[in-house]
Structure 1
Amino acid sequence: MSATGKPLQPIIIKRIKKTAHGAHGGAWKIAYADFVTAMMALFLLLWLLGATTDEQRGGIADHFNVPIMVALFGDPAAGAATILPGGGADLLRPEAPLTPPDDPAQQPPQIVIHEQQLRQAQLALDRQRIENLRGQIEQAIAANPQLAEYGEQIRLEMVQDGLYIQIVDELNRPMFGTGSPVVEPHLRSILRQIAVSMGTVENRISISGHTDAAPFGRGALGYSNWELSADRANASRRELMAAGLPETKIARVVGMGPSQPLLPEEPLDPRNRRISILVLTQEAEDRMTRAIEGVAPAAPAPPDAAPDATRQGATPGAVNLPPLPNLLPPMGAR
């Protein structure tokens, strides 16, 4: 109580906490813009209605009722059984229809490649690669002054079975020592250049050694031209392999002795002594493989033919072997 005897009134203090208002959004601006746009469209429509005649308003209405493509070209779906007919253009491949035309004359021509045609194309491509190899070897020899000096002793010729390369002796320019299989340095350079060029093709090769008809050795039972030609062919093989030619590319190595002279009318001419390298076509290699490793299938006998064992001159159990292919050019070929 106060000093006057009156009761004291309670004092109430209100404390207001002030907080920051949240950021005002801009959604009302979008709504207001939509409203203004709608009002502008409304006023534009009212202006058009008041500024045009009935005929003009009818033309505007027809423009929106009929699409421009239908008005110009007609409706292709008119009279169709369905709204969306099947077929038509493939969206992924516009040039190809989903359904083939019924008329065979309208169908695109189909290209049929027979196995024989494919085989002929492969053989032609194989031969073209070998012909390109010939040009590469000729260019490489001409570009090397050391090898160009022996250009006349290097003969390249396309034959039926492939590229025939001959490295021949000349008087006072032998490729090997007299009666020896030791390779002379210039022949080594030639063989190694050929090996490098051979890396551009997958064809295999056949290496042949040849000698002249001059007697050599101690008779038929001793070391003769046959052994010498085989040793020289093998020496050439070793030089090719030393230059990087894979062993798998060598189909065969043979010694021909004096049996295939380059100049048959002059059997003692030094040019008959030579090394021959035949780059085989795929067809020639297949022929050689079949002749060496397999037996050609015999033609079926007629029904009324007698069995092999009863035919005249037939030996029971005998096998008819195919003749070995002649993979060497004719004698005297240059």
Structure 2
Amino acid sequence: MIIAVDGMGGDNAPQAVIEGVYQALEAFPELTIHLYGQQQVMQPYLKAHERIQIVACSEVVEATDDAARAVRRKKDSSMARILQAVKEGQADACLSAGNTGALMAGGLFQVGRIEGIARPALATTLPTIDGKGFLMLDLGANADPKPEHLAQYAVMGNVYAQKVRKLATPRVGLLNIGTEEQKGNELTKAAFPLIQQEALNFEGNVESRELLNGVADVVVTDGFTGNMVLKSIEGTAVTMFTMLKEAFTSSTKAKLGAVLAKDGLRGIKTKMDYTEYGGAALFGLKAPVIKAHGSSNAKAIFSALRQAKEMVEYDVTATIQQTIAKSN
């Protein structure tokens, strides 16, 4: 299995990307990595390994680049080249922590959509209290979808939950402002019966306050709302641990309490740590395209590579393709 990796993408590239790559190579003996980037920049962090191949690129897609033009204009960038590798069958999947908009635009126009998928969706696993997590989509690929797009998101999310998370009948929920069927805006009201018609274990509307309690295994929403929910969860987690740190270092007595509570606090932090859950996958493309968090450290890159490997291993793309073909 070959995964093409953008060695230049992300706030901590190339060091964090390369360190994550070596961790994945150590953990997954079936994995081969094609690492794309500016060799002179990556060289200080590279070491010989039989399952890594370096592909030199002269350009880099920057975070400030225009998303729609970046990949088209910078054809020899590490991001453009990993997408091209997937398109041409030189790699089974690709991963980047770089410019999100550019990766989504490049994935759409270079890798291409699965026939029958109107709009791809950005999906990731978010934490829950029980540690199992839930899949949420869309997280920003399409801010203004139509009701039928949300129904397709539900189908794609269900396939992933069955294939990768091994859930026989995943609970699918539609994010809304109330649980009653008639609640919501025009989009959610119209999407509800369309999702209901699919062969899914549809739980109906779910509220955002119940997400981390594990109210559903797959949660569907538009990209605008999903992106705000994602960033709210991330921001709340960071703020919560900052407040806890301040509280536990405020006095000698508090510091003693911190020592006693250390193991419990570590467990909570692990549950809320985005680096444990991998990246966000662009569902609906002809091959797995994974977007890692822009601030990814080596652990996050490792988790994103594990996610890419699982999507290939469990043939998620082909299953989505077959499922959509049957429902059309």
**Which one has the largest radius of gyration?**
1
- TM-score, normalised via structure 2 length: 0.23
- TM-score, normalised via structure 1 length: 0.23
| Relative contact order, higher structure (CA 8 A, sep 6+) | 2
Which structure shows the bigger proportion of residues in helix conformation? Answer: 2
Which structure shows the bigger proportion of residues in strand conformation? Answer: 2
